Structure 1
Amino acid sequence: MTRSVNKTDAEWRAELTPQEYAVLRQGGTERAWTGEYTDTTTQGTYVCRACGADLFTSEAKFSSHCGWPSFYQPTDADNVELIQDKTHGMVRTEVRCGTCHSHLGHVFSGEGYPTPTDERWCINSISLKLRPAQA
């Protein structure tokens, strides 16, 4: 069973930096090529920066050259929630943390990347923390 994190807006503002809050709680996007994990190859698990829930593994990370970390699948479908996003004059699929409902990024399919799922989970670095694998 997935746990749920429910906090007030004031609690989120107190815990997150202004930049983290803008992306995670207000659905913003960090600028391309500025994120901490865009080119990271360290082995481990990427967790939600807001609540620590497991989201993606380094094994599912690939280089898409899009300016944000890209994954071809989450650790478990229940760890994320997908929401139709009709902002900016297009229809996309928003990805949120399944535990705290923070905005992570968007998922795209059918772009032709050589991945097992033909999906690109384009995720803001600022939405993640890397928990390195134990050596």
Structure 2
Amino acid sequence: MRRVLAILLLVAPVAAEAQSAVPPAALSDTQLADPAAEARANALMQTLRCLVCQGQSIADSDADMAGDMRALVRRRIAAGERPEDIRAWLVARYGDWVSYDPPLSAVTWPLWALPVLLVIAGAIVARGSFRRRGRP
């Protein structure tokens, strides 16, 4: 029991240090005053992948980097930039994978073709399976 307590006492300070001491960006968790501008910002944030989590959009992620990206999107929307221009800037800076909708290119075509190929392969396997069952 003493060993477990000693390990916990050693690990507790490390867990406390895992939280960032940097305050969140100004607009990371604060909505814009203009509801239409906030709607445009939110629609864009839903389509951008968190660079840390990678499985969540920046709108849903609690990562510090996602907060910084939300603040950046809101600042640029408030300054009058179009969402398409902000997306283009982020893609140029972080690459196509920052977007949940990567463009069709020589690098991304397997991502678009794989679902179709899997459906075709499944249909071929199913057809062969049904043919074998039908034979006496």
The TM-score range, normalised by the shorter chain, is under 0.3
Whichever structure has more strand as a proportion of its residues is: 1
Point out the structure with the larger helix share. 2
Larger relative contact order (CA 8 Å, sep ≥ 6): 1
Q: TM-score, normalised by structure 1?
A: 0.23
**Highest Rg: 1 or 2?**
2
